[in-house]
Amino acid sequence: MKIAVVVFPGSNCDVDLYEALHSVCHADVEYVSHRQKSLAGFDAVMLPGGFSYGDYLRAGAIARFTNIMPAIIKMANEGKPVFGTCNGFQILTEAGLLSGGLKRNDSQRFVCKTVPLEVVNSHTLFTSHYQDHERIALPIAHADGSYYADEKTLDELEANNQVVFRYATENPNGSLHNIAGITNKHGNVLGMMPHPERAVETILGSTDGLRLFESLLENGRIKVEA
């Protein structure tokens, strides 16, 4: 399985993602510039955290129009795994690959800490190594992480089991329904504000994020009907 980590101007977690896959999981992974127009030969694509284009206009709004985005959308439509964390999640919503959007934290402050999460859906390409309702802890680091959507969209997300991670015991940003991560209807696109790539080794303080990447590597060649 060959995985692309897309690098945008302002990405700052691309190395974290790359090393989690390369050094810890021993996966075949490559950096791909936002300037490229093709993802031919890749089986999955990952969008890292950071501040693409300085978060001007709106977080992820400019990155959505880069050369690489049509190829990412094509992969998603083909049923291949597409993952975005933090700014990557914001980009996926801006591109219409995931429902809703991310707005400024209710506190109006940048929040950086480890938070408890509940695994709501362990039956996805990305979460099969977890258990439903399992509690895990992952780092967050964002100023625009409050998930919002209209009531109809929220109802659909809940009814279709598209909510994958939910903030447990505390809501650090004001996300509706305590949502920390969601998939598309077909389950092959996952976006989340927490950073699993920062929790893959004991020396980092937690290995709770490792199973997400292990799940992907085990299931990633299973093409979802999109």
Q: How far apart are the C-alpha atoms of 199 and 210, rounded to whole Å? A: 7
Using CA atoms of 122, 123, 126, 127 in order, give the dihedral in degrees to the nearest 10: 20
* 13 assigned to active site: no
C-alpha separations of 77 from 30, 60, 160, 185, 197 in Å = 21, 20, 18, 11, 25
Q: Which of 34, 94, 142, 197 is an active site residue?
A: 197
Q: Which of 86, 94, 118, 177 is an active site residue?
A: 86
* 195 assigned to active site: yes
* 197 assigned to active site: yes
Going across the sheet that includes 2-7, the strands are: 28-33, 2-7, 44-47, 82-85, 189-192, 179-183, 163-167, 111-119, 135-142
Q: How far apart are the C-alpha atoms of 34 and 116, rounded to whole Å? A: 32
- Using alpha carbons, select from 91, 109, 126 the residue that is nearest to residue 174: 109
Are the C-beta atoms of residues 70 and 95 closer than 8 Å to each other?
no
Which amino acids are annotated catalytic? 86, 195, 197
